[in-house]
Structure formats: C-alpha cells, structure tokens
Chains A and B, each alone.
Chain A
Amino acid sequence: MYENLINALPAVLSLGNLLAVVIGVIAGICVGALPGLSATMAISVLIPFTFGMDPLVALGMMAGIYNGAMYGGSIPAVLLRIPGTPAAVATSFDGYPMAQQGRGGYALQVAVVSSSLGGIASALVLMLLAPPLAKVTLLFGPSEIFWVAVFGMSAIVFLLGGDVIKGLISAAFGVFISLIGIDTITGYDRYTFGHLELLDGINIVVLLVGLYALPPAVALLEEVRDLDTANTGRLNTTSIWQAIPGMLKYWKTWIRSSVIGVFVGILPGAGGSMAAFLSYNEARRASKNPQDWGKGEPEGVAASETSNNADTAAALIPALTLGIPGTAVAAVMLGGLLIHGLQPGPMLFRDNPDIVFGFMWQFLFAAILLIALGGALATNSFAQVLRLPRPLLGAIILALIFIGVYSINGRMFDVYLMMGFGLIGYFMDKLKFPLPPVVLGLILGGFAEQNLRLALRIGGGDWSILASSVASKIIIAMILIVVFMPLISRGIRRLKARPDAG
C-alpha cells in the first residue's frame, strides 16, 4: 500500500520541486504576515500562473504557501495583535503580551518551531491515513459517491457554524453555478445565455479568484490603516538553534495540540481557527500556571501554532480521498488539482500515484523547511513585510488577479466573469454568507449530478437504488447526524439550562 509513497520520493527530491517548495514557503510566510491576505487568496492567485508548470512543481508551491501562511499569520498576531490569518487569533493572546515585554523574537521562534512540528505531524498522518482510505472509497459506486458529495456539502454548511440559512444559500448557489454549461448527456446548454464561452461551464479558478482574491484586494484599498510596526524593530532574536533546547519543555503541548489539530483538520468544515482555540484551551487547562496565560505565556503560542499547522495536511485527507474539501484552502487546492487535469478522489491514487504521494512528501518538506526559512534565516526580515504600504499592495494584487484570470484562456470574458464573482463575493463576505460552501458546491455539484444520473440509469429510473446498499445507508445516516446534530445539541443544552434557571 505504501510502496507508491517511497516510489514518489525521488521525483520530489529534484531541484525544481524543492525550489518550488522553498519559494512557496517564503511567499506563504509573506502573504500570511500581511493582515487581510490569506493562504486561500494566495493560492487562488497562484493557480493560473502554474498552468505551464509540471503538476508536482505547482503542487509543491501550493503546499509551501499553505504551510508558510499558517505560520506567517502569527507574525502580525504577535507583533501587532492583528492576526494575519483567522487561525492566528489564539496566537495573539500570549504572543502580543510577549512582544510588549520585548520577547517578540522568542514568541515568533516558538511559533515557527511549533508550526513546523504541527505541520510534520499533519503530513505524516496524511501519508499514513490517505492510502487505506482511498482503497476503501474505490469500492464506492455512483449512488455512494452521490451521497458522499451530499455529505460533503451538508458537513461544510452545518459544521461551519454561523447562519445555516445563509450557508445553505451559498451551497445551493455553488451547485447552481456548477450546472452552467452544456449537459454532457443530453447536449442541452443550460444558462449560457448565448455565450459560447460558457458552454464548458465556469472555470473554477475564475470563481476562486473572484470570491477569494478580489475582495481582499478591495479591502486593502478600502481600509485606511497605518500599522504601528514599532515592535518589529525590537524582536531581540537570537539564533533559533540556540533557542530550541529551551523549548523542549513544551513537548506535551506539541503532542496534544498536534492530535487536536489533525482531528479537527479531518472534520469537514472545522478549520485552523477552531483547532487553535480548542488546543489553546486544552493546553491552558492542563497547565500548572493557568493564571499566567494571556499575559505572555510562550506555551500558549506553542499550543495555538502547533494545532493550526497540524490542521493543514489533515484537511486534505477527505479532499484527496473523497474529493470533499473540508476547508476553503483545501477547496482551492482541489481547484489547483483540477486545473492540472487531476480529478480528486480515490481514482487519483490509482491513476497518478507519483503526483498524489509526491504532494504528501512536499507537505512534509514544507513543514520541515519552515524552521530553516521562517526561523533560522529571516524572522526579522519577514517581520518587515508588515511595513509594505497597503494601497500599493492592493494595486499590485489587482494586476496579478487580472493576469491570472486572463491567462487561463487568453480572453477578456473570464475577466468580466471574475469581476462579477468578485462583486458577489464582496457582498457575500460583508453580509456574512460563508464562501467555502460556494466553492464546494461548484466542485461537488456537477460530480453529484453525474453520479445521481448514472445511478438512476443503472437502476432503470428507480430512485430506491440510491439507498439500496449498506454503504449508502451509512452515509445517509451520517448526513442526518450532521444535519440534525446542531438541533439536538441545542435542545439538550436548553433542557440542561432549564433546571439551572429553575
């Protein structure tokens, strides 16, 4: 089962692939360090630039950006108390007080080492769990795959939290977008409005860039903000290799937070911020000095950063094996795979083992490289990224977005479409409509429809075929649990609260 994993290693060790990971990590740290920009946005902008590249090189860059950005988010969280990425919120609780005490450099070193260890744990779990899971899912037929797609969408809507109605609207909108274009079975064109460019459907990159890259670029120009970067000048950083022995006392926190991060990462819809909060709270509970937490306790930084990086590769387990991305970044990564003609799901492991296992190795190398690049070489330098003027960055990102989208097919139509999605994404973001379900809907909508129709054909139009197998019944039960769990738990909480109130 794991021989493919070993066979993929030599290709990953080639200079081009390693260089791609290095560039990805550096770019990811820079992007993560800039408040308002995220790994999702960076990968969305990057994907179109990777068309001409070897898939493994492109995926290496994405893996590097993902890992780098998760650590990069801690830089402004520690120095400015402004989390660069959502997952770095918990890092600011103790990181910022440390920076105020003149220990900002040490806080960043703890963050980078913890991030690296979390990333390594996550990559190892991905390597160990994904292949057997892919083997099991190879046994699935069209009805099971249809239900898996429905499960993926339900999970991201109901487990993401927030407003369920808005989440469902987002998911339905995404599915509807996936239906635009020619119906491959009947040849009927749906919602193309006479535009030949829409016959092939909407390219996922156009949607991703519109939803995830344009609104942050607008936000950079919209908000007048001058960050006080005084803390970046007084990091008091020593060599990270001298600092590491002093951090070994956090080993229990590293292990605990890695387990939490991996577990949360595998759950669809959860994500790095939930992992970081849970991990921070568990570490605080287990601490001998909980009263010091929030006042500059390095273990708090370690807990939060370990788990938000342990979430990264783990989030790709359902994405690679089932084609269900649990988080927005995983959805964007799936978009990257699709662009290179790689259909996520169990067949990916059978048809392209070199690429999928190479990708896993790249995650591991990116996590290891974090210490060298983020810690030993340039923590001071990366902190200077915060000094970049935001309006200039916004203007540059606008140009990059244009290049990226235009390059897909070399036509302006995609750019206009992207602007439309950008406008929709902007308002959705402001009105608190979650964006990940839209992407998931686009990825899974067509997939679900194709398998639903295939299942119905096999069953001669009999709808009961959808629930005929044991696997289908189990997946349907899981969907019902995911949908009704929030209602049940709310009811239980109310029942518990009643005697207390009485």
Chain B
Amino acid sequence: MTGLLLTPENRIAIKLASAGWAPSPCPQTGKAMKSKPTNTMTDQPRIPDTQPSPSIEDATSNPGSQTMSTAPAKRSRRFDPDLIAGTVVTLGAGALLLRTSAMPPMTALLPVTMLLVLMVLGALLIIRCLVRLKRDNGVHEPLQVFTNIRRFLGIAAAIVVYVACVANLGFYTSTAVMIPIVAWCFGYRNVRGLLLADVIFTGSIAIIFVLLMGQELPTEFFLR
C-alpha cells in the first residue's frame, strides 16, 4: 500500500500540482470567472482559462481563492511579513516568559518550555528571512498579506462597530441594520434582495432563538 502511495509518479504528481499543474489546460473559449467592473474598490484581474489549477497549498489555505498573487519584486526588508511575524513571536514569547518566574516549578514546566520553543523558532524565522534577503540582495517576493488594505480595514471596522453596537443597542437591532449596510458597502447593491434577506435572516433567528430555544442574546436597548 505504501509502495502504491509513494511511487515516484505520485510524488511528481503532487509536486506538479503544487506548482500549479493541471493535466491539460482547458480550452480558451469559456470564461471561468470574471472581475466585477462596476465595483471599483478592488478590480481583480480576469483569470484566463489557461491559468493553471490552484495548487494544493493554495487551495488548502484558501480554497476557492485564485486571486492571491505574490507581490512583485523589491520590498523594504523592514516590511517583510515573515520578519515581522518572527519578531512578534520572539518578543511576545519573551514578554510572557517573564511572567513565569512566580509560578511553582511544575506549573511553570510546560509554559516555560513552550515559550522558549516559540522564542527559538521565532529567532529561526528571523534568521532565515535575513539570510534569504541577503542572498537575494534584498530582492525577493514576500508573501502578499492584503489583497486590498483599505477593504480589509473597512471590514475590520465594520466588525468592531457591529460588536460594539450589539453590546450597546442589542442583537436584533444591530443585526438588522448591519446586514444590509455591510452587504451594500461591500458590493451587493440589490435593495430588494438586501431587505428580503435581512427580514428572512433576522426573523428566522428571532423565531429560533426567542420562540424555539429560549436562548437570550444581548437585549435590545428599548427593552431594557
């Protein structure tokens, strides 16, 4: 069985797939997907049918997302995401390690071990990144974190505002307002569809949670 699974052909297949190989490119006639020209927040490139199938790694990390592209060329080494991640891990673990001094030895055993491991691994990540930058003379392709940072910040702000509203105004009020606004802001502009979805969703949740389950969600401000 192991022989069957780990034949050279299989290894090659997985490697080819990881490198974005598909057995045969599809004809160029049909359109797999298209960008939405009406929304200008991010215009993503049209993906031609000749583009290879997504790799195992890409698909595993973000299935369905074929639009993650690596940013081209030269970036400042200060902003290499791996370098930043390594620094955050090392410093964060170091700071937490300081808190273990007051713990009883057996209580501190695993936390100290894990935090030391994290510091060492974070340092390795930094060293690897610096070596790579030096080897490539500062020119390499770092991972692209944001497809559109403005859009990401908008989503993050929407989530924070929604959670704050739920805590202060109540769940149903905040949700009934959040769904159409967020969907509208992020590209769905069909008013009828928005209102219908809003009524159906919020209504269903109310029926399920209030009538059927008796589960309390944050109370509405006008009922307090």
Contact = CB atoms under 8 A, between A and B. Distances in A.
Contact of A218 (B31, B85, B155): B155
Contact of A224 (B5, B44, B107, B124): B44
Interface in A387-442: 389-392, 394-396, 398-399, 402-403, 406-407, 410, 412, 415-416, 419, 423, 427, 429-433
A172 interface: yes
Contacts of A264: 5
Contact of B14 (A224, A278, A284): A278
Given A165-B124, A188-B104, A278-B14, A86 B197 contact: no
A494 B156 CA distance: 46
A278 B10 contact: yes
Interface stretch (A10-18, A77-85, A238-246, A375-383): A77-85
Contacts of A410: 216
Most-contacted residue by chain A among B5, B23, B162 (CB, 10 A): B23
A445 B63 contact: no
A97 interface: yes
B33 A228 contact: yes
B107 A186 contact: yes
A225 B67 contact: yes
A162 interface: yes
A427 B35 CA distance: 25
Interface string A48-83: 000010000000000000000000010010001111
A415 B163 contact: yes
B35 to A, nearest CB: 7
B57 interface: yes
Given A398-B162, A399-B201, A281 B188 contact: no
Most-contacted residue by chain B among A81, A88, A190 (CB, 10 A): A81
B73 interface: no
Contacts of A97: 24, 26-27
Interface residues of B, number: 104
Contacts of B218: 406, 412
B151 interface: yes
Contact of B31 (A224, A228, A293): A228
A20 interface: no
B59 A273 contact: yes
Interface stretch (A116-124, A175-183, A330-338, A348-356): A175-183
Contact of A36 (B65, B156, B167, B184): B65
Interface in B151-168: 151-152, 155-156, 158-160, 162-163, 166-167
Given A165-B125, A431-B82, A260 B4 contact: yes
A234 to B, nearest CB: 11
A93 B23 CA distance: 7
A176 B99 CA distance: 13
A221 B186 contact: yes
A168 B63 contact: no
Interface string A251-281: 0000000011001100000010110011011
A166 interface: yes
Contacts of B163: 402, 412, 415-416, 419
A394 B114 contact: no
Interface residues of A, number: 101
B94 interface: no
B143 A263 contact: no
Given A92-B53, A391-B188, A172 B178 contact: no
A188 B103 contact: yes
Interface in B128-162: 128, 143-148, 151-152, 155-156, 158-160, 162
Main secondary structure of the interface of B (DSSP, over half): helix
A163 to B, nearest CB: 9
A96 interface: yes
Nearest to B205: A403
A399 B175 contact: yes
B203 interface: no
Contacts of A179: 110-111, 114
Nearest to B67: A223
Given A172-B118, A224-B41, A392 B197 contact: yes
B72 interface: no
B23 A86 contact: no
A389 to B, nearest CB: 4
Given A169-B122, A191-B96, A260 B5 contact: yes
A222 B125 contact: no
B169 interface: no
A191 B104 contact: no
B64 A35 contact: yes
A159 to B, nearest CB: 12
B49 interface: yes
B210 interface: no
B26 A96 contact: yes
Most-contacted residue by chain B among A225, A402, A415 (CB, 10 A): A225
A389 B13 contact: no
A415 B39 CA distance: 31
A432 B49 CA distance: 26
A292 B42 CA distance: 39
A448 B99 CA distance: 22
A169 B121 contact: yes
Given A100-B27, A225-B36, A281-B10, A168 B117 contact: yes
Interface string B179-213: 11011111110100110010001000100010001
A391 B183 contact: yes
Contacts of B27: 97, 100
A402 B167 CA distance: 11
Interface in A284-316: 284-285, 293-295, 300
Interface string A191-203: 1000000000000
Instruction: Give the 4 A-B CB pairs with smallest separation, nearest first.
Output: A35-B64, A294-B23, A294-B24, A281-B13
19 contacts: A34-B64, A82-B66, A89-B59, A93-B24, A172-B114, A183-B104, A190-B103, A221-B158, A225-B67, A228-B34, A263-B1, A273-B56, A389-B190, A390-B187, A394-B186, A399-B201, A406-B171, A445-B114, A452-B110
